Structures are given as structure tokens and as C-alpha cells.
Structure 1
Amino acid sequence: MSLPHDLSIMSINARGLNLPEKRSQALRDFRNCKASVVFIQETHLRGDTHPKLTDAHYPTGFYSNHPTSKSKGTALLFHKHIPFVSKESLTDGEGRLLVVKGHIANTLYTFANLYAPNRAQHRFIATCLRKVMGFTEGTLIMGGDFNVPLSPLVDTSKGTASHPSHILRSIGRTLHTHRLVDCWRATHPEGRDYTFFSQPQQSYSRLDYFFMQHYHLHTLKTATIGTATWSDHAPIHITLTSQLYRPASFSWRLNDSFLANDSLIEDGEKVLETYFTENATPDVSDAVIWEAHKCVIRGHYIKKGAELKKKRATQISDLVRQISDTECLHKRDMDPAHLATLMTMRRSLSDLMNTLHHRTCLQTKAFFHTHGDKSGRLLARMIAKKRAATYIACVRDRKGRPQYMPPQIMTALRDYYKQLYSLPGPQTDKTRQTLLDQIQTYHSKHTTRKLSEIDAALLEDPITEGELSIALKSSQTGKSPGPDGLPLRYYKTFRTVLIPHFLKAFNALTRGETLPPQALMANITLLPKEGKDLTNCANYRPISLLNADVKLFAKVLATRLQPHIPNLIHCDQVGFVPGREAKDNTIRALQLIHEGRLSGRDFLLLSTDSEKAFDRVNWDFLFASLAHIGLGPQMQSWVKALYTEPSARICVNGVYSESFPIQNGTRQGCPLSPLLFVLSLEPFLSAVRQHSDITGPVIGTTQHKIAAYADDLLFFVTNPRVSLPCILSTFKDYGVLSNLKINFGKSNILSIQTTDAQYPSHLQQFPFPISHTKLKYLGIWLNVNPAENYRDNFAPLLITLQKDLATWNYTHISWLGRVAIIKMNLLPRLLYLFQTIPISLPKQFFSTLKSALIKYIWRGGTPRLRFDMLTRRKSQGGLAVPDFRRYHIASHLLRILDWSKSGVRKKWKDAEQAALKVPLAALPWLPPAQDKHHDITSPYTLATMAIWRLASKTFSLSTFPSPLLPIVHNRDFALGLQAGTFCTLFSTETPRVLHMLRNNSYIPLSELYNTRPPPFLLSFKYGQLRHFLRAIPQQHKLVRQLTGFEQQCMMPNPVAHGISYIYSLLQTAAADTPAPFMGRWEMMLGMPLTEPQWDKILDLTHHCSIASKVQEAAYKVLTLWYRVPTQINQMFPDIPPICWRCNEEEGTMLHIWWSCPILEPFWRTIHAVTSEFVDPPIPFCPASMLLHHTSISTRTYKRSVLVRILNVAKSVVPLYWKQIVCPSLKVWRSRMEDLHALEQLIFHATDQTELYTTIWSRWTLVTSTTSFKTIMSTHRD
């Protein structure tokens, strides 16, 4: 629902906005005034670089600044709820004129912002108007500071003006010529008010104006002059009638800060306990009691919020009212006493606003202190492209007509989504029953996998507190709540009170109760799809926000059901199935393309795109799917409860539509939806597999017909003349029952092999675009020629990464921040390709990538640490910068692990295995000399084997011979080529040497063979096997312990986080020597440090603070990052190696950081301070003060103020780099107090008050003592 919304326009001379406090005051004032458009003059921002003036409420801004100096400057800001679509802008290049034109709700406006000089105003205005009038389209609104009272008699307090009369007459004629009318004077023909007070002249004048052409003046509703508060000019306001609309009611959400306030939490607990005690009665449904509690808690917090807001705003509003009253009195009588009072109150208001700003800044600093330059949302937003404006200016309705008016835009979008979520179904009971019968028949024929009775019974158990607690713990906070406004953090905060009633309400659903309609409401926010026609309703991505309690309930159900999904879903489907990944399909497709090229048969790939697949699912078909897989009645009732009369409303430009029912589709944002979708799609995939006329390539004993990642389907088609029509027929049969609809325009055929001359023309009969070179599937290009995989996929990605790194070269991102960006952004993109396209990559790829990384990390400068040093793990002295060559090796070695796992079936393994004569599990462990006899034709198997042979030696992953040496399929052991006897004897498909060994000796045949005595032939073969093994050189390698990689190969289950595990093995093997800086430190300190001591130093270096910048500073000291005079002298011999402070001794690292006579008093004072907090004191030596090498336990040290004192001290020293003065203790003390304030905020916000007390409790006490003051006074700055 919505109401008419006027266009509110504001103009003010800001008199400079370079101070962050003033910008904060200004933006706060704009919000309080509810200004739609803001004209600002005298911004004093420089053209080449200026601070950010926009914020979340005013995201769109236009500027005209002086190119080189901080003078003049104009700006136009537009509120986020104003659907302004810019058409063109004009500036004068000097910061005095800014004109922007564009549409607001199909109305064309031109906004002209002027800042006139204080002389020759008539010439300036005439010149500007000539430009403006030639530029203007639509309604012109011209405003700004004209620096002249147009009618001195009524526009000044003295009734006169210092400007010559000819200037005023000239301005009047110019305005009259262009039919421009003074808006304030038009609404106040006899009024007197002013916008500026001149201290030298002790007079008021009206210098700020809005003008409109007279034939648009009918849209003007009001014009007012405000009160001068934070600027020396008063703001002016006008309101215009518009076709905009505002929400009739606003969507409420609980302020997260309330859940960090102990007193408000305590109040909330009391309200909840009282409510449930008074209302939990048997005659009221548990679901209704649960849903009604939200109204109670919402009302409670609305009241508390209003009280807090009123308390905060009272002081400011009272001051503003007093300033306004006093200003009116001064304008009337010009009493100096009133002026003095006015100035005092304005200063008080400014101080109060600055206090609020500083508090906000401290909170912002605390946030950046915690999250800055770390992998996470903050860093991701810093490098993300600016999101397109979410307001919608125009859409086309069902008939294709463009709609610009907000009500019509809302209607068009609501109708589109109402139709999408309410697809037409059977019109009568008879046709509905016929459809239900057809669905049952379809499932009976094609649903072949079912739950066991035991599994189905386990799923029927009531939801337990343990399950709900796990769901709560694993759910992420910080996400937008649903229509009820209660975020997930609310349920985590009040879990003790809420969990029992949550369980009662949702377990009651199995007894026939239903959830109230409000519980199943969803808010839909629309995000534009990049690069699409945004007038098409289908080109917006709907983001549904469900209520957090419903999502928790669905998460519990999904967690229960997920372990059973692999048994219910065929391995053709890899989307949303635990243990399956996109690479399973892409590697399979690549292998089949390779085999298809050699087959000599017609072969193609068909990739299909489903139109809104998740949103179109027929519920009758979905529920029938659940019944046919064997879900019990209670589990079915829980799922059906989520789909009983749900509804949604869409948010368009801040306004919510009326709700509409949802009658099909899985709920977006629901944790259960992906599982329900793949279960509903499985009968179709089964139908394809069962259809005898749909044929695919047969590799070995396996026929490959289809691969699926959720609704992304890829068909492998042979005999297309017969198969393609059958595929379309199968789609049609399934679509009639389930609502699936194929988007033929986005589906594609890739022709792999053609034998029939009529084949190309035959394909034209089908409604799919045809390609003969490549096809995109799951984000990668599948090329007919496997040799082109690098060119199509890796080469473009490399170019993209280089461009991204160049774009992200922001100065405000620190050294460690850049490393975090590489880990967070580049690594996942490259790992995806490494795993989905297992090919060998040229050395040039990795060398180019490495060069780009080095250039980015060091901002184009000379590296101060070797790249291989940076790629070490943090525990090895590095920064864990990804080594992409090793990650590429790890991705191939993970395939070796997959080859070894016989318990998990993957169809790409079947395809690769069919092309080999030996088992994949045996291939890596056979003698390297036999590789040429294996007839490996697959380029992907060859690539993996080549990398394995090199990596196994380089990184000590295995040796030859290995305990994993196969007995069978081994050409060196002829009997092993006849595998049957030995496979039976050792009860495994791939008998290995280790199966014969126990405690470094061979297991007797009598223990291996249970029947006594063993047959003579078996004893003879066993003897031959022992003879063969004893003849192998280097016997000790056969009986050695398994390496970590070999152990994983023998494990039955896949390793969790396989890539990370293998990469860590490679890193450990590569960094087999201590980091170079360790030896240099030991030499400088004159003392050796043991490995455990270095481990502790490295741990404290990387975890001495929650702030990334503090960690960076500590790491720079540890790795000797700073270039001291002795180093500079080695690079530039003309520069002396003498210390720049004392100018006496050589400037070594230890001298510059520790022993310089000028610096030593600083460290002695810091040590004396630490002695006040630690008993006994830590040693006064560089190892303790610079490297955190103490006898204190790591946990205690991290939770002490000592580490903070030393961290801050080390951060002060570089501030005085290349200066002859000693670092300032005042600066150190100031930084300590800043850190104290930040951590106080951080620890209280994260409910770590006890930790804050442990760390900082003595700081305030000690710093106020006489002994501390005496220590500080001994060293004067």
C-alpha cells in the first residue's frame, strides 16, 4: 500500500564540507529534513580528489568542483527512494554551476544549482541562464546562493543593499525574460525572512533562492526558510506535487543493538516469560501462541525504541527550537544580547552534534579495527563493483506498454510475480483428479529409489532441542529478517525462553495444526540483472526474505533429510547432493567429448535451460515425490505445513505491494528448497535413463545419457534423429505434470561428431541454437577440440584476473589486505577451473600469474620478501599467500585420491576407467617404466599422471617402490596379470604389497587362507609372489610407514577439504628449511632459539591482535621488512650506513629498532610501564620487547595488556622514521587510550565483557597512580 509523496527539495550554503564532522552533520540534517533532492553550495571540495559526500540515504550525487583548489564547489544529492534516471549533466568547470537533467517517475526535470560570486552577479547569472536555458528540458528548478538580495527593501533587515541598483535591475530583467519566479516570494508575497546574517554589517538578508518558470509554478506547494544551525546560511525548502508514492506503513525490523544491551535483553526475557505463562493454555493452538508472541515482543521493542529515540533527540530538538525562536527575536529587534545567545546555542548544538559524530566514528573505527583488511564482507564490498541502483523507473506491463508511474509499475511487477507463483492448473475437480492420477502413474513408473523403513521411521521422530540448537548455531547472523522483522540473532539471544515453545509449536504441526498465514509471508526484493533490459519484469532477480523461525524449522528438516539424499538421487545429479560437486559433471563431459571424437558415431551435447525452474514446481507433483520415496506421514506433514497458504509481497522503490498467494514453486531462501527440488526432478532423470530410444555413448559397460546440476541439464546424445524427439517428448510429459518449462533460446546443441551428410540440416528442425565449436556449461567452455580448453577457459580468466588486480590497486587496502583479497577472490575462481578442467597448464600461465600477484602485493614496487617466503604457511614464517602452481598440483592429486576410493561411484571415473586396461586405483603406484604400456588415451588421465610422477618425488608424497605397489595388473609380475586368485586371497579389488605385510614381515598364507590346508597351486603362486617381492630393489621402501598422502589413498571415505589437505602436504614438504629471517635474528640477538620458541613467536606475531594492521606491523618487524641504513648502503654505496638518529654508529636493524642511544630511553620507559603490569618483569631485551619472546604462556600473553603495550610501542617507532628525534610517549599514550576505547566497544558488543575486564581492568588504575606518572615524567618528548 502507498500514499502520494511530494518532492521535497532543499538548498543550503554549506561553507565547506571537508571536515568529517561537518559532513556528518550535513547528511544527518538532510535526512531529518526528509529532503528528496539537496542543492549544496560552497562544498570547498577539490576536483581532482575529494572525500565521499554521499551515504546510504543519498547514494546518488553530482558535483562541480574547482579543479585545483578547495574553493567554491556545488553538489546535487538525490535520496535513495527517488527514482532519478540521469539523462545529462553540465558544469562550468569552476565549481559555481551544476546542472543535471533526468526523469523522476516519467516527469523530466532539470535541476540547476548556482553559487554566484560576491560581485558582478548580474553578468554571472545572465551567463549561467544562457547555458541553463539551452540545456533545460522539462520542469526547471533553479536554486542556490545568489549572493545578492533581489529586493533590498523586503529582503534585508535594513531595507537597503550595498549592491548598485543597476545590478539588481539587470538581474530582475534577466529573470523576467526567462519567466523565472522566486518560489518563496510567490508563496509569501508580503513576508519578510532571511537566510544569512552578516556579522560585519550586523544585518540579515535573503541571498538563497529557488526559481521556477511560471508555467510550472502550479506544482509548487510550499516554500519555507529554515533555521541556520550547522552553517552560517539558513536552508530553504520547497515541496512540489509529484507522481511519487511513499509507503503507507513502513516495514519494522528489530534493531540489533537492542540485542547487545543487557538491560533491554533482561526486559525482553521478562516480557516473553510473562506472555508464555499467561497465554500457553490448552484451548489455544500452539502455533497461534507462538506467532502471537512476535506481536508482543515487537510492541515491546517499538516502545523501547521510541523512548530511546526521544531521549536521544530531545536535547537536539530543544536546542534547534530555542535557536529558531532566538533567531526570530534577533531578526525582529537586532538585540546584541539575542545574537550572543544565538551564537552560544549554535556552538552548543555543534558540540553536541560533534559528540554524536565522534561516537559514530568510534564505532566505525572499532568495526574496521576488527574486520579491516581481512577476508570477509567488508573487504569484499571494498573491491566489489558498485551495485546498480535498485529503484525501478520503468517496466513494461503484460501488453508490452511502458509504465512510468509508481502505481502502474507496482501493478505490472505484482501481476508478473502473482502469475509466476500462481500458474494455471486444472479448472475442475475432475480434471484435477485426472492430473493427480497421472502424477501417481508417472511416479510409480519412474521413482525407483526409496527410503528404508528404518530410515523413514527415524525421520518421523519429533524435533528435539538438540536439533534446533545445532540449526541455530550453524545459521549465520547479520541477514535481513522476514516480514515479522525478527532477525536470527533474536532467537539466539532468547533461546532459553523460546526453544521450548518453538518445539511445541512446530511439533504440533504433525497433529493437524497449521501455521498462521503471517508466518508463511515473504518479502520479495528485486535486484536488476546486470546487462539485461530492465523494462522487462523477468530481468529482475527476486530475493525472498522469509521469517527466521520458519527458516530455522526448515533447516532442521533439511539437516534430517540431507544424509539420505545420496541414496535417493542417482549419481547423474550432482547439485545439492552431499559428496558431489560440479566437477563430477564437467570432467565426465570432457571425457565423453574426447571419447566421442574417436567413436566414429554421430554424437552431440544438448544443454537445456529451464525457465524459473524452482519457482514453477507443481506442489501436487512435489508432494507425490515425497510420498513415493517413502517419507512418513509426519515428515510429509511438516513439509506440507511450509506450503499451506503461503503468500508474498514485493518491494518496489521502498513501497510494499499488497500480498498475493503463492501456489507453486519451492520457497526461495528456504534451506529445504534445494533438496525438495532435486527430489522432484529425479523422476524425470529416471525417465530419461529408462527411455530405450534416448541413447548416449556407451563407455565400457556404462551408458551415459544425462548429467544434472540441479536444473542445469546436459544430455549426451547419440543417434540424434531418434533421441532428440524423444528427449523433447520426455520433457513435455514431465512438464505437463510438474510445470517444468524449457527456455529454448538459452538451450544449446554442441555437435561433436558427424557421420551423416544430412545431419546438420536435420538438427535445424529442433528448437535449439547449434554450435560446432564450444558450449558453456556450469561456467566453463566445453570445446569440441580438447586442445582448446586452455585457450577458452584459462587464458580469458588470466586476463580478467590481471584487470581485476589493476582495478583493486586501492591505496587504502594494506599489505595484508591485498593478500586477503588474493585468498578470498582469486583463489576460489582459479580452484574452480583447476578442478573442473583437469589439464596440464603451461609454465607461462603460472609465471604471468605470479608476476601479477607480486606487482599487486607490492604495489608495483620492489619486493622486500621473496614470493616463496610469502607462500609459506604462517606457522612456517610466511603469510599463506596462495601458490597457484601447487594448488593446481593439489587439484590433480585429489583426482588420485578419488581414483583410490572404490566405495563412492562417480561416472567420470567410470568413463576414465573404461579407457584403461588397469584399474585407476592401481595406476599411480605401478612402476613408472610401465606407463607407456598402459595405452592411456585420455588427455585428462595423462595430465594427472604426469603431474603425479613429478609431484610424488618433488614433495616426497611417495617413493618407488611403495607399500601401495599393486600385486595385480603389474607387468613385472606375470602372475599378477591374472588377478582373480590374488583378489580373492586378499579380499580386495586391488591387492597391494601392504596387504601381505604385518610388522615388516610377510603374513603366512595360512592366515590369509582360512581353509586348511591351502591348495598346492595357491601355495605355489603365493611362493612365486614372495619371490617376486623379494627381488624388488630397495626392499626397505616396501615396508616403510605410509606417507600422509598414501594413508589418505587407503582410507575408504573421501577426505574432507581434500584440496586444502593436499596443499598443506605440499607446503610442508616445500618449506623444509627454517625461514631466512630466523637465522638473522639469532645472529643479531646472539642467542639460538629452539623450534618451539620460534613456533610461539610466529603464533604471537600473527595473533597478537584482532586488528590486521597490528598483525602486519608485527610481521614486518619479524621479517626484517624495514630497510635500514646498512641495507641501503649495500644497494647504494654512496649512501653512508650510519644511523640517521645518532649519526655515530652503523644503522643495523637492531640499532635502528633497539639500541640507538636516542631510542633507548623510549624502550626503557616502555619496559618500566610493562613492569607495572607484570611480576616478575619481562627481560629488557629485543627478543622480549620486539619479538614477544617471553616465558609467559601464549594464552595468558594474548589476554594481557602487555602485548598491547608492546604492539603500540612498535607502531610508534616507524612514525619517526628517518628523524633524529625519539618517538613520542604522548603519541604512545594517546594510541593506547584509543585502543582501550576501541576494545571496550568491541568486547562489549561481542559479549566478551569478562575478557575486557581481564585485559584492561588494571590499566585505568595503574595509569592514574603516582608511580606511573613518575615513569612517564622521566622521559620528556
Structure 2
Amino acid sequence: MDSGNLPSELLNAAIVTLPKLGKPPTSCQNFRPISLINVDLKIYTKILANRLALTITSLIGMDQVGFIPGRQGPDNTRRLLNLIQVLTSSSKPGLILSLDAEKAFDRVHWGFMSEVMAKFSIPPEFVKGVFSVYASPSATVRFAGFHSRAFPITNGTRQGCPLSPLLYALVLEPLAQMIRQSDDVRGIEVGPQTHKLNLFADDVLLTLTSPKTSLEALTNILHEYGTFSYHKINFSKTQALPVNIPDDVLTTLKQEFSFDWRTKFLTYLGIKLALSPQVLFDINYGKLLIEIKTLLRSWQPRRLSWFGRIAALKMTILPKILYVFRALPIFIPRAFFSTLQGVVNAFLWNYRRPRIKFPVLSRRIEGGGLGVPDFAKYSRAVHVAAMIVCLGYASRPQWAVMEAITLTPHDLMVLLWVPPPNRPRGVFTSLFATTTLSLRIWDSMFLKISGTGPVSRAAPLRMFQYILPHFNAQCWATKGVFNLCQLTDKCGVLEFASVQSKFHLQDSYFLSYCQLQSYLRTQGFTAFYSIHKPPLTLIESLGVSQLLPKGLISIGLNAIMKDRELPLWRYHSAWEKDLKRSIEPELWAAVFRRDVGVSRNATLLETSRKVLYRWYWTPDKTSKFVSSSSSVCWRCSSQTGTYMHIWWQCPLCPPHYC
């Protein structure tokens, strides 16, 4: 590896051909080649990829979200929804253009890639390590169990290589820079920013104004870039969606540019982007519902256990729906959730009558449920996660920066904590529809997010500028006091003497302190903490620490599903009656927590949950609605077959539990 020459066997790949769906296997074009590289080579390139990932965020523009750490495809689709709203709400002509790159990864010129890496000042030793993978690669085609003769590979990134997506992002960045820096390629202006590009690896979507001028300049840039990089655009498959373009101008553009001109929508990252919110909902969520119905019906003949059906929903259906929720954060009618949940629940019970209430099953396992997806709550969790991103983090995605700009001179990070009645009037009329919806859901969930009423301990002191007259948060910030939690302890709000000593305040801060203390008393804040100060919730902690962890949707979902008290269901009271004792909610919670991970055997876990939910029909229960059925235990034939008798008290049971 130091010499840059790896064994030829290590660089050889096996190409397996898979037939394309719905196409006859009579032509080579109807097969999809999948390249399988050496596992040792994958380990080596994964090490290189991990090292490159540490710095690639500083090399690649924020509009490239494909395979870049901390960035995701839904970041671009939410931004696109906002840009579409800007275009449709104005009379300015615009164009949404989705470029189709022909064999994008396979056409990368190695010499061009080397020059790009040098331009980015990547250390020569690292470049040498990367190009050891491209020293003399070869491939064989595997078909019907036989391998063809090896043939050399002379261009393109290695398929299946962990390093390839990052290398392609580097190679494409010069094109992105040329488009960003071109004054003739005109994008959509939102505040001081101009938005032109939305990139996910080789999926390039442009949002343009002044279509004729922009397209001419863009064509020249693509030609110049392709000359050096081998990059080629398939113009006949490039989709174009015009917005507010006069008919005569549109006719001229269609004659000059041979794009796939669309009238209603175009597809980007699996999402159909339309100009109308209603059309956007129908062609995405309506289609999704039909796909799920068809898929679940196709699974009906399969003999799946109850737990198997739940696992299928979690692993297959939930990711499909969750991606659309994240990529299209638009208003969803309640009827959609009712229909979707009904379809899923019908599959869960094998199209028979439900045996257990859905609110029980949808609870977390630690709460006595089975974590069956509640899609309405997942949808709200997506919006809560979006608002968490807006809490002032340094590396916010472009959609968050864009949505914050619309509130200038106000700060969305601060307004999230301000009680709705105290927010400035009229400031939200200019918000994007996505921001308005997310903010409304954030407000509806705020009591669960904060856990302490309308005023959160994580609230920045700047919030009180909207509540208290002449309150100066800046003077507190100069002393290192930024959040309300810094002024509280287990007894409530700290006395001024303690605050003064802790932060070295002058006496002039006393009036401002009294304003805070007086307002918090009116909110019951001090009285609430006089007995017990609850810790910050996880979302509050994120707001204070300015950290952005993974799993934001799970964090939002846990907050939404959080209960102040564990609800008691019918099976709780039934067990208490049989055991002749009262079981406190804390004990139930402890039982559920201990049940997590107790076994890896799905059959045992399913049986234990069915026993807990009192799923099984005992002779005593059956005799009450089947007149011909006996209530006597079928095992010992001497006592009434109650639930406790069948599972525990029957004299013939002990041998089974030994």
C-alpha cells in the first residue's frame, strides 16, 4: 500500500447482472450490472472513507446532501417546497430543472479526480492511498455460474466501494461551484441568499429564474465541465417544470432545449414535486396509500405470526411512510391517518377482529405496549424534530437558515420558546407553509416538550424581551447568563444575592431580576419548584447545550408519547383482581422495563405478551358466551378454569414450570 501497488487479485471485481423489472431479458440494456469487490478492499477503502468524512463537510457546499455526514435528502426536499412557494406566490417566471446524468459514477475521469483532490489540498499520501485502488483494476462478468475473462477498468468510481460516494461528491463540486458563481445562472432569492442548486450525489435539481438566460449559461457550463470530467447529461431524460412562464416564451424554450417538459410534476429523490399543495398531496400520499394496501394484501397468504406482522410493519412499512413524512412536511388531513392506520391494523390482525386496543399496542415496550407504529404521532414527531434543528445550531441545513431569514429581525430559535399569546403579531404572515405547520405542532406539543408548563427552564432570556417591557437580555448575556435554568435551583428561582454572587452582577441588575421573578410567579413557576425541580427534558437539554444528536425523530416521538402518569388499562385491573392486591403504576412500569430484552426467542416473547394482555380464552370465559362449553378446567377437570387457575393454580401446572 505504501508503494501504491495492490495485488491484482485484490482489485478484481465480479460483475453480476440482474434483470430490470418489467423488461424482457433479451437485450443487454435490460440487465443491471452489480459489481462485487473484494471484502479486504472494502475494509481498506472504508478506513479511507472514514478519514475523508471528517473533513469533507468543509470542502463540499451545503446544497450537496448525498452521503455527506450530518446531511440528508429530506433537507433538500423541504427546501424545495419553500422555493416552490416563493415561485408560485410571485409573478416572476421560473423553472425547476432535474438533470439526468448518464452513467454518472461510471464516467468519472481519474485524471480529473486527481486534479480535484489536489485542488482541495488533500494530502498527497492520502491521494496515493486512494489511487492505489485505481492502479490497475479489472473485472469479470459472472453469468450462469461462469466467469468471463478479466478486462481492465479505465474510468469511473468503484461500484460497492465505501469511498466512491465521497469521491464523486468531490468530483462534482467544481460543477456546483461554477453554477453558484455564475451571475448568468440566476436562482431564487430569499433574503440575502440565492438558491440555485439541490444536490444528492448525482441527482442535480436546479431552481432557476430568467429561464432563457439561465439555461443558455447552464448549457455552456455543463459542456465545459463535461469536456474535462467526462460528465454527460442526458437532455432527453432531464425533466423541466415551468412556473409562471408565458406561453410564447415556453414554446421557444421547448424548441431550443429538448428536455422532458412537464406540466404537473417532476420526480426528485423519489418524491413527485408539484406546484399545487393539493396535487402534491394526492400524487404522493395518495399513491403511497395505494402501494401500502397492495403490499399488505400480497402478504396476506403468508403464514406470519402476530409478532412477525408487527416486525414487518416496523421494518418495511414504517420506513416507507417515514421517508415521505420527512421529505414532504405538508399538511395531512386526519382522514388520511384514519385510513392508513385502518389498513395497517387490518393486516396486523390478519383481517379479523382486533383482540387488543390499538392505544395499548402503540405504546413503547417500556410502557407496556409493543411499539406498533402510530403514524399520526410519527408525523408530528417529524415536525418536532424539524423545530429542534432550528434551535440555533451552527451547522443548520439550508432550509432551516432559509426559514429563519423570513422572520428577520426576529429569531426563530427564541420565538419557539415564547408563549403564543406573547409573540409579535403579524410576524408569522410571511412564513413558509412548512414553518407554520411545524410551529403549530410544536406549540400543541409544548407542554410535553417542556414538562413545566408554558414557561420552559430552557428558554433563552431573550424570550422575555417579548413579554416584559424594557427587559434587556443582552446585559445578562455579557455576564454569561443565557438561559432561565441558570437562575433556578431545586427551590425555584434563586435569590438575587445568590445570582449576584454566582455571576458577579452589579446592583443595577436588581430591577431586571425582579421583573423575571414577578412574571414567573404569575405563571406558577416558583410554586411549582418549591417542592421539586424536575430535570430538563431531553429536548430542553438540547436547546441549552446547542448539541444536535442523531435520532431526532425518536426524541420527538418519545416526547409526544410521554405520559405524566402511566395509564391503567383493563388488563391491569384484571390482574389486580386475580392477585387480590393493588399494583402501583411505578411497579407496572418496573415490570415492563424488566421485560425488555429478557429473551431473543420471538415465540416466547409473543406468548408472554399474550398472557399479560389476557389474550387467551379460558374455559371460564368461554362458557359465558358459548352455552355448550364447560367452565371446568380441561386439564384437571375438578376446578373452574379461570385465568389464574389455568396458568398457575392448576395442580397439573407445576411440572411445566420446573
Give TM-score, length-normalised by structure 1.
0.48
How big is the shift at 1:1020?
A: 9.0
In structure 2, how many angstroms separate the alpha carbons of the residues matched to 1:1024 and 1:603?
54
In structure 2, how many angstroms separate the alpha carbons of the residues matched to 1:954 and 1:1029?
22
User: Are positions 1:929 and 2:424 aligned together?
Assistant: no
Instruction: Indicate which of 935, 938, 960 corresponds to 2:432.
Output: 938
In structure 2, how many angstroms separate the alpha carbons of the residues matched to 1:856 and 1:653?
39
Cα shift readout 1:1188-1214 (whole Å, capped 9, x = no counterpart): xxxxxxxxxxxxxxxxxxxxxxxxxxx
Specify the alignment match of 1:920 in structure 2.
412
Instruction: Indicate which of 1054, 1058, 1062 corresponds to 2:556.
Output: 1062
Specify the alignment match of 2:609 in structure 1.
1115
Question: What is the 5 A alignment of 1:723-872?
Answer: 723-754=214-245, 756=246, 758-764=248-254, 765-872=256-363
In structure 2, how many angstroms separate the alpha carbons of the residues matched to 1:581 and 1:783?
21
Structure 1 residues 702 and 749 mapped into 2: Cα distance closer, same or farther (>3 Å)? same
Structure 1 residues 1098 and 1032 mapped into 2: Cα distance closer, same or farther (>3 Å)? closer
How big is the shift at 1:1085?
A: 2.9
Specify the alignment match of 2:89 in structure 1.
598
Structure 1 residues 1008 and 682 mapped into 2: Cα distance closer, same or farther (>3 Å)? farther
2:179 aligns to what SS in structure 1? helix
User: Are positions 1:554 and 2:554 aligned together?
Assistant: no
8 Å contact kept, 1:973–1:1028:
no
Specify the alignment match of 2:144 in structure 1.
653
User: Are positions 1:1124 and 2:614 aligned together?
Assistant: no
8 Å contact kept, 2:366–2:592:
yes
In structure 2, how many angstroms separate the alpha carbons of the residues matched to 1:1149 and 1:1020?
67
User: Are positions 1:886 and 2:377 aligned together?
Assistant: yes
Structure 1 residues 698 and 1021 mapped into 2: Cα distance closer, same or farther (>3 Å)? farther
How big is the shift at 1:556?
A: 0.9
The sequence identity of aligned pairs, in percent, is 32
The amino acid across from 1:1035 in the alignment is F
Cα shift readout 1:28-79 (whole Å, capped 9, x = no counterpart): xxxxxxxxxxxxxxxxxxxxxxxxxxxxxxxxxxxxxxxxxxxxxxxxxxxx
Instruction: Indicate which of 148, 154, 162 corresponds to 1:671.
Output: 162
In structure 1, how many angstroms separate the alpha carbons of the residues matched to 2:306 and 2:231?
50
The amino acid across from 2:432 in the alignment is S
8 Å contact kept, 1:996–1:1003:
no
How big is the shift at 1:1024?
A: 7.9
Cα shift readout 1:436-485 (whole Å, capped 9, x = no counterpart): xxxxxxxxxxxxxxxxxxxxxxxxxxxxxxxxxxxxxxxxxxxxxxxxxx
Specify the alignment match of 1:464 in structure 2.
none
Instruction: Indicate which of 76, 83, 92 corresponds to 1:585.
Output: 76
8 Å contact kept, 1:963–1:1037:
no
The amino acid across from 1:1065 in the alignment is A
How big is the shift at 1:965?
A: 4.1
Cα shift readout 1:927-953 (whole Å, capped 9, x = no counterpart): 222465332432111211221222224
How big is the shift at 1:767?
A: 2.1
Structure 1 residues 880 and 611 mapped into 2: Cα distance closer, same or farther (>3 Å)? same
8 Å contact kept, 2:94–2:211:
yes
Cα shift readout 1:1174-1196 (whole Å, capped 9, x = no counterpart): xxxxxxxxxxxxxxxxxxxxxxx
Q: Between the two structures, name the one with larger relative contact order (CA 8 Å, sep ≥ 6).
A: 2
CA RMSD of aligned residues (A): 3.0
Question: What is the 5 A alignment of 1:131-146?
Answer: none
User: Are positions 1:1050 and 2:520 aligned together?
Assistant: no
Instruction: Indicate which of 957, 962, 973 corresponds to 2:468.
Output: 973
The amino acid across from 1:975 in the alignment is H
Structure 1 residues 974 and 878 mapped into 2: Cα distance closer, same or farther (>3 Å)? same
User: Are positions 1:517 and 2:8 aligned together?
Assistant: yes
Structure 1 residues 983 and 621 mapped into 2: Cα distance closer, same or farther (>3 Å)? farther
Aligned length: 646
2:139 aligns to what SS in structure 1? strand
Structure 1 residues 1145 and 697 mapped into 2: Cα distance closer, same or farther (>3 Å)? same
In structure 1, how many angstroms separate the alpha carbons of the residues matched to 2:253 and 2:565?
57
Unpaired segments ≥5 residues, structure 2: none
2:384 aligns to what SS in structure 1? helix
In structure 1, how many angstroms separate the alpha carbons of the residues matched to 2:528 and 2:655?
63
Question: What is the 5 A alignment of 1:55-204?
Answer: none
The amino acid across from 2:249 in the alignment is Y
User: Are positions 1:699 and 2:190 aligned together?
Assistant: yes
Question: What is the 5 A alignment of 1:465-544?
Answer: 509-510=1-2, 512-532=3-23, 534-544=25-35
1:758 aligns to what SS in structure 2? helix
Specify the alignment match of 1:708 in structure 2.
199
In structure 2, how many angstroms separate the alpha carbons of the residues matched to 1:737 and 1:1057?
41
How big is the shift at 1:1007?
A: 7.2
Cα shift readout 1:709-753 (whole Å, capped 9, x = no counterpart): 001011010111211111111111111111111122221111223
The amino acid across from 2:436 in the alignment is L
How big is the shift at 1:798?
A: 1.3
In structure 1, how many angstroms separate the alpha carbons of the residues matched to 2:30 and 2:623?
63
In structure 1, how many angstroms separate the alpha carbons of the residues matched to 2:286 and 2:515?
50
The amino acid across from 2:385 in the alignment is L
The structure with more radius of gyration: 1
In structure 1, how many angstroms separate the alpha carbons of the residues matched to 2:192 and 2:536?
34
Structure 1 residues 935 and 872 mapped into 2: Cα distance closer, same or farther (>3 Å)? closer
Unpaired segments ≥5 residues, structure 1: 1-508, 1171-1277
User: Are positions 1:1035 and 2:525 aligned together?
Assistant: yes
Instruction: Indicate which of 455, 461, 464 corresponds to 1:961.
Output: 455
Structure 1 residues 1002 and 793 mapped into 2: Cα distance closer, same or farther (>3 Å)? farther
How big is the shift at 1:1138?
A: 4.3
Deviates most, 777-786 or 767-776: 767-776
Structure 1 residues 602 and 991 mapped into 2: Cα distance closer, same or farther (>3 Å)? farther
Structure 1 residues 787 and 677 mapped into 2: Cα distance closer, same or farther (>3 Å)? same
User: Are positions 1:686 and 2:180 aligned together?
Assistant: no
Specify the alignment match of 1:643 in structure 2.
134
Question: What is the 5 A alignment of 1:253-292?
Answer: none
8 Å contact kept, 1:571–1:905:
no
Instruction: Indicate which of 494, 502, 516 corresponds to 1:1001.
Output: 494
8 Å contact kept, 2:45–2:162:
yes
8 Å contact kept, 2:447–2:454:
no
In structure 1, how many angstroms separate the alpha carbons of the residues matched to 2:595 and 2:631?
29
In structure 1, how many angstroms separate the alpha carbons of the residues matched to 2:141 and 2:395?
44
Cα shift readout 1:1110-1131 (whole Å, capped 9, x = no counterpart): 2212222222110123333455
In structure 1, how many angstroms separate the alpha carbons of the residues matched to 2:145 and 2:307?
39
Structure 1 residues 872 and 966 mapped into 2: Cα distance closer, same or farther (>3 Å)? same
8 Å contact kept, 1:886–1:1066:
yes
2:98 aligns to what SS in structure 1? strand
How big is the shift at 1:1100?
A: 6.7
Cα shift readout 1:997-1047 (whole Å, capped 9, x = no counterpart): 56722667867998x979x7xx59846854774574323389754323222
User: Are positions 1:952 and 2:442 aligned together?
Assistant: no
